[in-house]
């Protein structure tokens, strides 16, 4: 695969991934609302608001695969999430279908299942438990990816990203950390694996304290190189300086669960 579209190219993850993806995919098309500040010679930028179907259609024209990072990357008001993450993701997949694109990697999130307790290990077949409007949009995106995979033949690969950074910075992230290199390894499976139809995997590195069973990713050939436990001392020291969160400390979604929380804590802990 040579010509690949990266949406959300100006965002935090997109900016980090560009230099790692460029040697792998010679024609890397970048798209976002704003042009990256460090656009390099030879990089092609196509501006696109995901809420504008015509603009999205122009961005996907002629590409072989898509890495969809674009959208609102944190919790936000419903109208923001609706337009950027729900309508925008629909526009992306529909435009890909119309343009004949055959592969799409969708950046899902751990927040699609954030209301599972930290004491429980989950795989990819448990029902979704979004912890936020943002998490709802990621659960929608996974369902939409399945629809376009089975209905229209777009091989889709959904990565429930934990927290991508150079290192885990607190105790929660020791369980969900994902290094940039390991994320690229997962993306390559999504774009390059022959015969892929629709898969959901967890985006995490080699995390000894993981809450997720990532067996399916390993079956597909994923071999994470980076270990969260190498950074445990620093992460736990940082955790000791944080205030307790009576809700977020129980659930995998952390502060996304405690924000605006008005539920019955003891009841949902047993669900």
Between CA 237 and CA 183 the distance in angstroms is 26
Task: Tell me, rounded to whole angstroms, the distance of Cα 9 from its chain centroid.
Answer: 14
Q: Which of 25, 134, 148, 202 is catalytic?
A: 134
Angle of helix 12-21 relative to helix 180-192, nearest 10 degrees? 70
C-alpha distance from residue 230 to each of 176, 209, 212, 233 (Å): 14, 12, 19, 8
Residue that the structure tokens 């605006």 belong to: 260
Can you list the positions of beta strands (E) in 33-175?
Answer: 44-45, 65-68, 103-109, 155-161, 163-164
H-helix or E-strand spanning residue 215: helix 215-219
Catalytic residue flag (residue 134) = yes
Ramachandran angles phi, psi of 201, nearest 5°: -135, 165
Rounded to an integer, what distance in angstroms lies between the CA atom of residue 213 and that of residue 91? Answer: 31
CB 189 within 8 A of CB 220: yes
How many CA atoms lie less than 13 Å away from 36 in the CB half-sphere? 25
* Positions marked active-site: 134
């Amino acid at each position: 695969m040579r010509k690949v579209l990266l949406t959300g190219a100006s965002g935090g993850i997109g900016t980090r991934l560009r230099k790692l993806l460029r040697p792998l995919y010679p024609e890397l098309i970048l798209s976002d609302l704003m042009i990256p500040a460090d656009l390099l010679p030879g990089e092609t930028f196509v501006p696109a608001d995901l809420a504008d179907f015509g603009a999205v259609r122009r961005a996907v024209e002629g590409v072989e695969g898509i890495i969809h990072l674009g959208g609102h990357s944190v919790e936000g008001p419903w109208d923001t999430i609706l337009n950027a993450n729900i309508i925008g993701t629909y526009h992306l997949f529909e435009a890909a279908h119309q343009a004949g694109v055959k592969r799409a990697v969708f950046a899902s999130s751990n927040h699609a299942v954030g209301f599972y307790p930290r004491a429980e290990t989950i795989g990819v077949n448990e029902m979704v438990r979004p912890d936020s409007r943002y998490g709802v949009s990621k659960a929608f995106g996974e369902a939409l990816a399945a629809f376009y995979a089975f209905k229209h033949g777009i091989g889709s690969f959904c990565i429930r990203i934990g927290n991508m950074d150079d290192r885990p910075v607190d105790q929660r992230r020791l369980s969900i950390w994902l290094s940039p290199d390991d994320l690229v390894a997962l993306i390559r499976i999504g774009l390059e694996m022959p015969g892929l139809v629709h898969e959901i995997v967890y985006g995490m590195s080699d995390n000894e304290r993981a809450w997720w069973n990532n067996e399916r990713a390993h079956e597909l050939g994923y071999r994470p190189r980076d270990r969260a436990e190498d950074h445990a001392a620093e992460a736990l020291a940082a955790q000791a300086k944080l205030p307790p969160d009576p809700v977020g400390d129980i659930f995998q979604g952390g502060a996304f669960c405690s924000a605006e929380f008005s539920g019955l804590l003891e009841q949902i802990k047993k669900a």
